[in-house]
Each structure stands twice: as C-alpha cells, then as structure tokens.
Amino acid sequence: NAGVTQTPKFQVLKTGQSMTLQCAQDMNHNSMYWYRQDPGMGLRLIYYSASEGTTDKGEVPNGYNVSRLNKREFSLRLESAAPSQTSVYFCASSEIGRTSGLYEQYFGPGTRLTVT
C-alpha cells in the first residue's frame, strides 16, 4: 500500500496563477482532508470530505476549492494564487482504527508551494 500520495512535491507559482494539488489514498478511507502548515501555526484545516460526494469548509477555506472525485481522490485548487498561500499543504485520510476504536489519520508527504 502506498498510503496517501500527493503531487506535486514542490511548486512555484506567480501571483494570479492557478493550480490543482492532487491527493489519492489506497486505504479505502471515507474521510479525506486538506491542511496547510505555516511556521508557528500548526496544521489548519482548509476543507474536508466525510465521504465521496460531500465536502465541507474548514478553518481557512478562502481562496481554495476542492473536488472529491471518487473515494480515492481529493483535489485542492487554487484559482488565483496569492503570496499568502505560500505554505506546505498536506492531504490526509482517516478511518476508525481496528484496535483503538478511534479515528486514525494518515498524512501524505506534503506539497511545498511558493507564490511569488
């Protein structure tokens, strides 16, 4: 199992450009998430999807859109990139753990995005 994969690993954009970050998981999880991580801020939720066909806003959704294409894939789109969106973006998926009985969340390797 590859777990959670993300593409690209690195990206540099100019202000106003658009791009889509791709995420896929092969663990058959229902829930998927997009976070951004900035120094000293921890992980902040952008959007999440509790199941295929549903998406909900998180703490910092402005400037982003998402698509839950199917159970495996959850993409994040920046329509008009701004320098404030320079960050590390993590995709994650979660399911109830067999032994813990609690939701367990697994992260992809991240995308380092710089907007100039």
Partner 1 sequence: QKEVEQNSGPLSVPEGAIASLNCTYSDRVSQSFFWYRQYSGKSPELIMSIYSNGDKEDGRFTAQLNKASQYVSLLIRDSQPSDSATYLCAVIWGNYGQNFVFGPGTRLSVLP
- Taking the complex as a whole, the smallest distance from the CB of residue 15 to partner 1 amounts, in Å, to 26
Q: Does 19 bind partner 1 (CB under 8 A)?
A: no
Which of 50, 69, 72, 86 is in the footprint of partner 1 by CB under 8 A? 50
Which of 24, 85, 94, 115 is in the footprint of partner 1 by CB under 8 A? 94
Q: What is the dihedral of CA 61, 87, 103, 106, to 10 degrees?
A: 140
Site string for partner 1, 25-44 (x = CB under 8 A): ------x-x-x----xxxxx
Nearer to partner 1, 9 or 77 (CB): 9
- Taking the complex as a whole, the smallest distance from the CB of residue 83 to partner 1 amounts, in Å, to 22
Q: What is the dihedral of CA 46, 75, 88, 110, to 10 degrees?
A: 130
Nearer to partner 1, 31 or 85 (CB): 31
Q: Does 48 bind partner 1 (CB under 8 A)?
A: yes
Q: Is the Cβ–Cβ distance between 53 and 68 less than 8 Å?
A: yes
